[in-house]
A and B are shown apart, each in its own frame.
Chain A
Amino acid sequence: MKKWLSMFFAVALLAASVTGCSSPAPTTEAPEGSEAPADGKYKVAYVARAQADSFAAWLANAVKEESEKYDNMTVDIFDGQASDDTENSLIENAIANKYDLIIIQPNNGEAQRPYAEKAIAAGIKVITTNARISGIEGASSVDADPYKQAQVNAELAVEKVPQNANVVILKGPPGNFHADERYKSWQKEFFEKRPDVTIVGEEIANWNKDEAMTYMETWMQANKKIDAIISMNDNMAAGALEAVKDKPEFAEIQAYGVDGTAEACLLIKDGKMTSTSLQSAYDLATALMDTSNKLLTGEETQIDMDIDCPLITPDNVDQYIEMHKKAGAIN
């Protein structure tokens, strides 16, 4: 049924994109490496993992905004609906529609790899992002390093988490590259260095605030003492902190996340959350459009880069709150 649904939407999306793009582009037959597109603008397809995923949606919005700064490109956004099937057919459609460049935000890197390769074979430039699919001959990539994102938090936690602490862990969906790498990083950079710490709860909350909240409520029933919440993203950390709210016995609890969402910045400002690291959709979008521009104009042929992941703590949170205010996420 799910497959049927996603097929339906793939077709619907295809129909929408065809009607949307058909008028200005009378089959732009762009030969490989051409410098100037027929109608003066390069066509870029951005295939998003899932518009229902809040970070993916933030990134897609940021890409769209950033693209408006470039006169030589038009960017069309496609929604992969969190399905490999849908995402792969969207990439095929983009190849068939002769886009000049395809940006792929994979749902599952290995599943999209052959389709990215197919695009390259068709002479289309490819950038993989959030997370990169590494080792594709001729493809470029722009990403944030998930291991490092967790590491900067883990290093702070090594100092701050009290001796013999009880901690709980909130994990992302299994098999997700960022979820797995962040978890691996916490294991190596924190738990191996702090053998005194006990894990009293560990659950998969699928990046979701409501699921994390429910788990935390139950952990608080089973454990009188929990010293820290270690979460693979901010959304789940915020959910757990929601459960802790107004419970005096857990007032001192520490919480670590990743992403630097507006909500996490406010929680850090209020002294409820300890730290997070920024995975800035704006920085990714800026880097993506800059890379696209360089590849399309032939200035460079291949780029692999990582954006920074600065640690956000009460000391520097104000500048990030300012960033979110400017973007209109909070007021």
Chain B
Amino acid sequence: MSNKAKGKINPDMLSKYGIYLVLLVLFVVSWMANENFMTKSNLTNVSVQIAVGTILAFGQTILIISGMLDLSSASVLALAGVLSISAYLSTGSLIIGFLVAILVSVACNVLNGLMVTKFKTPPFIATLAMMTMARGAALLYTKGQNIYQIKDYTIFGQGNLMGIPIPIIFLVLTLIITWYILNHTVFGRSIYAIGGNEEAANASGINVDRVKMKAFIFNGILVGLAGVIFMSRVNGGLPNGAVGYEFKALTAAVIGGTSFSGGVGTAFGTLAGAFIVGFLDNIMVMVGLDSYLQQIVRGAIIALAVIYDIWSKSKGKSKKLIMVEETKEKVS
């Protein structure tokens, strides 16, 4: 969103705002399909439902922009969540419980970061290993059983602050922080630079390993926070909870225009991607579409949204060119 100077409508506007247009169309169609869709309580409901997945998706966005990804986020979420609840139940302190979640998750992500930077493991493999280890650790710690009776811990996922559900507050805060990091910090610019061209970034004096490690640490904070909200929302420590959330998060980021070739992506795009998936799931259940059919529709819409995004970006020039240009803009 840095070049407001180009005021033309096509095709720049299309490429930049294509995904929001998709969201808008989905919104209008859903509104027509069911009268209960466009109510304050349903919109709040969907926003709360997507909070956990979207907070994970912000972490994925930063990692994907810098040419990495995190397959371990859902498993680390579960490990951080059950340890956090356990810490709360034994100390009685919500703050300690909260901090344990963040610490555990950051520790796991520091390990991810070390594997990637020190041992040059591809992020796909490094985080795949962490995915399996973290889930195993969560199951081992709980012996595969849910932790019940979590008392006041439910405040993080079920509480309200001035009438606003706390998960939404966390969602907005993480959105602002992610947006700020990406657009207004040296760290953010370095992320785009590394994703655009790692060697060039290195040659221009960016400490690539350090930036990558910082990206994982930031991801760790988000994953820990998501773990607290998730467990609190379901009122229990579920060691096998949130299975598949890493793909939910990746889907939101990719639909939102984050490119796996690196160097491209925005916080608001990811939020839009998450809303597209969230509203789609919501309206399909509301109108009572067959569960098997839902899976087909979900897949098709993902494909269509991304095809539209790429098509609108490629109008006039090649996608690669746009990416290079956008990267230049971000770095300069």
Interface residues of A (CB under 8 A from B): 5, 51-54, 56-58, 60-61, 200-204, 208-210, 213-215, 217-219, 221-222, 235, 238-239, 242, 245-246, 261-263, 266, 329-331
Contact = CB atoms under 8 A, between A and B. Distances in A.
Given A54-B146, A61-B143, A221-B45, A213 B234 contact: yes
B236 A218 contact: no
A295 B42 CA distance: 58
B39 A52 contact: no
B261 interface: no
B62 interface: no
Contacts of B242: 210
B146 A219 contact: no
A58 B37 CA distance: 40
Contacts of A262: 148
A210 B148 contact: no
A68 B145 CA distance: 21
A58 B285 CA distance: 32
A214 B50 CA distance: 10
Dominant secondary structure at the A interface:
helix
A57 B145 contact: yes
In the A-B complex, the 7 residue pairs with the smallest Cβ-Cβ separation, listed nearest first, are A57-B144, A221-B42, A222-B286, A218-B285, A52-B240, A204-B291, A263-B148
Contact of A54 (B34, B37, B132, B145): B145
A217 B49 contact: yes
A153 B49 CA distance: 31
Contact of A330 (B42, B135, B148, B239): B148
Interface in B124-143: 132, 135, 139, 143
A283 to B, nearest CB: 17
A53 B45 contact: no
B207 interface: no
Nearest to B34: A222
Interface string B25-64: 0000000001011010110010011000000000000000
B185 interface: no
B149 A330 contact: yes
A54 B237 CA distance: 12
Interface of B: 34, 36-37, 39, 41-42, 45, 48-49, 132, 135, 139, 143-146, 148-149, 158, 230, 233-236, 238-243, 281-282, 285-288, 291
Nearest to B50: A214
B37 to A, nearest CB: 8
A52 B34 CA distance: 38
Given A217-B45, A218-B45, A209 B238 contact: yes
B285 A329 contact: no
Contacts of B282: 218, 221
B240 A54 contact: yes
11 contacts: A53-B144, A56-B144, A57-B139, A60-B144, A201-B285, A209-B234, A210-B238, A213-B233, A218-B285, A221-B286, A222-B287
B236 A263 contact: yes
Nearest to B283: A218
Contacts of B139: 51-52, 57
A239 B234 contact: yes
Contacts of A204: 291
Contacts of A246: 158
Contacts of B239: 52
A329 B149 CA distance: 10
Given A203-B285, A209-B241, A222-B36, A329 B148 contact: yes
Given A218-B42, A246-B158, 19 more contacts: A5-B132, A57-B143, A58-B144, A61-B143, A61-B145, A200-B288, A203-B291, A209-B146, A210-B238, A215-B285, A217-B45, A218-B286, A221-B41, A222-B34, A235-B146, A239-B234, A242-B235, A245-B158, A330-B149
B143 to A, nearest CB: 6
Nearest to A56: B144
A217 B44 CA distance: 11
Contact of B144 (A52, A210, A217, A263): A52
Contact of B236 (A61, A209, A215): A209
A66 B146 CA distance: 21
Contacts of A330: 148-149
B146 A263 contact: yes
Nearest to A331: B149
